[in-house]
Amino acid sequence: MNLGKAIRTCRKKKGLTQAELASLSKISVSHLCLLEKDKRDPSLSAVNSISDALKIPVSVLVLLASRHEDINELSENQIEELSRNIMGIMDGANKQESLF
């Protein structure tokens, strides 16, 4: 599982800097940096805070972090397609949020 890469991908997709996400998540920038580089394993409370700040469910973050061997019943192409669809949904949510 590559949770750090998933966090970084979602953060960038939302147009946030590390400092902005750290502030929204109430964690330090240095800790977020280590998480994104997979040099630290996040606590459950950190994952919850980050997913709340990104406005995505924890399950989506975990799914995006999953490797092919973690999800044996799906092909690599299906995982890639699912990831693209999730990111597209996140784009749609961003556009809807900006309309209000």
**Residue 43 per-residue DSSP state:** P
Q: What is the pLDDT of residue 1?
A: 66
> Is there a contact between 42 and 60 (Cβ–Cβ < 8 Å)?
no
Confirm whether pTM is higher than 0.85. no
pLDDT by residue, tens only, the chain of 100 residues:
689 999 999 999 999 999 999 999 999 999 999 999 999 999 999 999 999 999 988 888 888 887 766 667 777 787 778 777 777 776 665 544 432 2
Q: What is the pLDDT of residue 100?
A: 27
> Is there a contact between 3 and 42 (Cβ–Cβ < 8 Å)?
yes
User: What CATH code is assigned to 3-99?
Assistant: 1.10.260.40
